[in-house]
Chain A
Amino acid sequence: MESATVALEHGGHGHEEHHGPPEAHQSSRIDRQTLGILLFIVSEVMLFGAFFASYFFLRVVVNPSSWPPQPYELPVAVAGVNTAILVSSSFTIHYALEAIRRGNKAGLKLGLVLTWMLGLTFLFIQLNEYVHLGFSARDLGFGSIFYSLTGLHGAHVFVGLCLLTFASIRAFRGHFGPEEKDHLGVEVPGIYWHFVDVMWIVVFLTVYIL
Chain B
Amino acid sequence: MHNPLRSEADAFRWVVIIGLAAASVIVLTLLTRPAIGVVWMALLIGFGIGFGYRAARGSLHENVEVTRGGDGRFRLLVVANETVQGAELLGEIRERCRDRRAEVMVVTPALAASRADHWASDIDEAIELARQRMELSLIEIRGLGLKARGEIGDSDPNMAIEDALRVFAADEILISTHPPERSRWLEHGVVDKARERIELPITHVVVDLSAVGTPS
Contacts and interface: CB of A to CB of B under 8 A. Distances in A.
Interface of A: 1, 4-12, 15, 21-32, 34-35, 38, 87, 90, 93-94, 97, 186-187, 190-191, 194-195, 197-198, 201-202, 204-205, 209-210
Contacts of A198: 14-15, 18
Interface stretch (B2-10, B93-101, B177-185): B2-10
Contacts of B73: none
Contact of B25 (A11, A87, A186, A209): A209
Interface of B: 2-3, 5-9, 11-12, 14-16, 18-19, 22, 25-26, 29-30, 34, 37-38, 41, 59, 110, 118-121, 124, 127-128, 130-131, 134-135, 138, 142, 146-156, 159, 162-164, 166-167
B127 A21 contact: yes
Given A90-B15, A201-B19, A8 B150 contact: yes
B5 A27 contact: no
A94 B8 contact: yes
Contacts of B162: 27
A209 B151 contact: no
A1 B160 CA distance: 10
Nearest to A194: B11
B8 A22 contact: no
Nearest to A26: B154
Given A8-B138, A24-B127, A1 B151 contact: yes
B15 A1 contact: no
A142 to B, nearest CB: 16
Given A8-B149, A30-B121, A38-B5, A22 B29 contact: no
A63 B34 CA distance: 15
Contact of B131 (A22, A27, A194, A205): A22
Nearest to A15: B131
A34 B156 CA distance: 20
A195 B131 CA distance: 38
Nearest to A197: B15
B121 A201 contact: no
15 contacts: A1-B164, A22-B128, A23-B127, A25-B154, A26-B152, A27-B162, A38-B3, A90-B19, A191-B7, A198-B18, A201-B19, A205-B25, A209-B26, A210-B37, A210-B41
Contacts of A26: 110, 121, 152-155, 159, 163
A15 B132 CA distance: 12
A1 B14 contact: no
B7 A34 contact: yes
B191 to A, nearest CB: 19
Contact of B29 (A11, A23, A97, A210): A210
A1 B127 contact: no
Given A30-B6, A197-B15, A198-B14, A21 B124 contact: yes
B41 A27 contact: no
B141 to A, nearest CB: 9
B18 A201 contact: yes
B159 A27 contact: yes
A44 B10 CA distance: 18
B131 to A, nearest CB: 6
Given A187-B7, A209-B37, A210-B37, A28 B154 contact: yes
A22 B150 contact: no
A10 B153 contact: no
Contacts of A28: 2-3, 59, 118, 154-156, 159
